[in-house]
Amino acid sequence: MKSQVVTFLIKCPDQKGLVAKITSFFFEKGFNILSCQQYVNSIEDKYFMRIRLNADGTEISKKELEENFMELAEPLQFKWSVNYGDKKQNVAIMVSHTSHNLYDLLERHREGSLVCNIKMIISNHDKLRPIADMFGIPYHYLPVTKSTKQEQESQVINLLDANEIDLIIMARYMQILSSNFINHYPDKIINIHHSFLPAFQGANPYKRAYDRGVKLIGATAHYATEDLDEGPIIEQDVEPVTHESTLKTLKRIGADIERLVLARAVKSHLQNQIIVSGNKAIVFPEAGE
């Protein structure tokens, strides 16, 4: 295997000797361990590991590595994935009217802090096309109504699959995706919600936050699931506000938080830092990469 960084994500029932067995396996195959992060959920008796390996000098092929690892994994009930770091993930961004998250993602991508291929922008409105043109990203305008929703989603799915999209970012795409769409891309759709979930789910969260007189305004990035705004939470943040804050002020502050939260969540996904377990996301911090 040529020089590259290989990342394994592992989850399994907690049991004695896991670290020794896993690290010994990779040592015997000639890998140098760059970092080994682990977490034990003692309440649910589950074990999680993210291990990064330097493949310099190893003679083993990808196929042989995976077959050998499977022999270790099966008796220990591992659920695992491996990323070889040899290709950038293909990303699609879905938007409606608001531009702040889209601008931020495209700028971070251009600066190199989001390492991926942004293949396209999909929108149910044509309003944000000039932004796509500015960054040289293909823009697909696919309008949708209640009566055309199924047909429009089929068009979107065909477009995503034809371009081998690995990650879909809902950067304020103000449409509720169908179960069929979501289940087509499990743990591959990141949504930004403009509140600190589980508070103020659904539509108009800033208005409801203002009416409630909140003292913190927040945003949440999560994987989309069939249950609206209830998928595994990847990243959250908040900022203090006061009784003097108007609805306009909340929206302005919230937009800044949304940018940061969404960018962090996308980066964690692209760097293979996340293991989804039920309705929770185990997010390992960056480990020197």
Of the residues 14, 45, 166, 229, only one is catalytic, namely 229
Which residue pairs, CB below 8 angstroms and at least 24 apart, start in 21-30?
Answer: 21/72, 21/76, 22/49, 22/51, 22/72, 23/51, 25/68, 25/69, 25/72, 26/51, 26/53, 29/58, 29/60, 29/65, 29/68, 30/57, 30/58, 30/59, 30/60
d(CA 10, CA 7): 10
Q: Which residue has the tokens 């942004």?
A: 118
Containing H/E element for 157?
A: helix 149-162
Q: Which residue has the tokens 């936050």?
A: 209
Q: Choose among 127, 83, 75: nearest CA to 102.
A: 127
d(CA 236, CA 100): 17
Structure-block tokens of residue 38: 């682990």
Q: Is the CB of residue 239 less than 8 Å from the CB of residue 253? A: yes
Output the CA–CA distances (angstroms, integers) from residue 9 to 22, 38, 48, 160, in the order listed: 12, 10, 8, 25
Q: Is the CB of residue 286 less than 8 Å from the CB of residue 193? A: no
Q: Choose among 105, 142, 138: nearest CA to 123.
A: 142
Active site residue 227: no
Catalogue the active-site residues: 229
